[in-house]
Chains A and B, each alone.
Chain A
Amino acid sequence: MADPFKICSEVGLVVHTNYKAESLKSFLNGLKKVSGSSIFYHVHHALLRRHFATSDHMNDFARWVLEALGQSILSERLASVDPMGTRSVREARNQLVSFVSEYVGGGELFFRVAEGKEFHFLELHSLIVPLKTVEPDLESFYHALKKATLGTFFFHMIEAPIRLAKHSNDFSEWLITDLGEDELAAEIAHLNPYMYNLWELKAKVLQCVRKRLKEDWQQ
């Protein structure tokens, strides 16, 4: 028997790690040492905080390297770390560390910032709030998603697969397991949140489900 879908939302509390970087050297140390929750906050959660800026999905690290250190080449590489292209926070961290290590090389170019421009490593304490239980049918799912917050889309499509080490996003997993909607699930799984803002992502998911519903109605 099919299980209902539990719609949740992510709400995050930001905590200072007590670690800050004033040069590329201490930045590199920070990237290696801070918690995965800190990497998640600065790389992935930035998508939620700045979701409206479609073309400017720069993570916090890339932004600081550009704005405080003026290192555009390194910034560009750090910005290329696609939160959805890395399967785990650890993988994202490894990519970031390797980019900064290569850039710093064996040299002494540590690019120190002026006082007050340091990078503050923060971390995220997430609370996942259950909001609604949706009957296991596509129409109910569609109407529930229509009313869902962006925090819901962030949790089910970004946080759950990355932080809870799932194979796919929650929507696609449920669509396969409980509704047998493999094609629709694949279509949604194919959407990369890094390429859109969260409004657009929501609209695209809804569009996919609506299209599938229309097929049913036409039959």
Chain B
Amino acid sequence: METIEIIGALITLAGSIFLVLGSLGLVRMPDLYTRIQAGTKASTLGTILTLFGLGLIHLDWMGKLIILILFVLLTNPISSHILARSAHYIKTPVSKLTKVDKLKDKETEKTSEANHTNPEDEL
């Protein structure tokens, strides 16, 4: 019984270390998209490990913690995805290191096409 609790505490510790690394990524990364990369992944796994470790310490809490884990696993990627989408839509500046931007190419293509074919629709 004692060993499983210590394993749970160590898993919780590992989760909090990942959370610190994710925040360090938020501080160090050069632009919004790379910050989302660091933030989302680290906070998802960090929180999951923290909750799972606590579940090993209190085995009777496991049900609620599993609900929380599923919830974080489903919603966190969606919120980061929708945030990146709106950020790209309002043209948040990307870092100078960025090499290719296919989404921007598509958007400029679409607007120029619209301007060529039916310019009167806008009026």
Say whether A and B bind each other.
no
Q: Residues of A with Cβ closer than 8 Å to B?
A: none
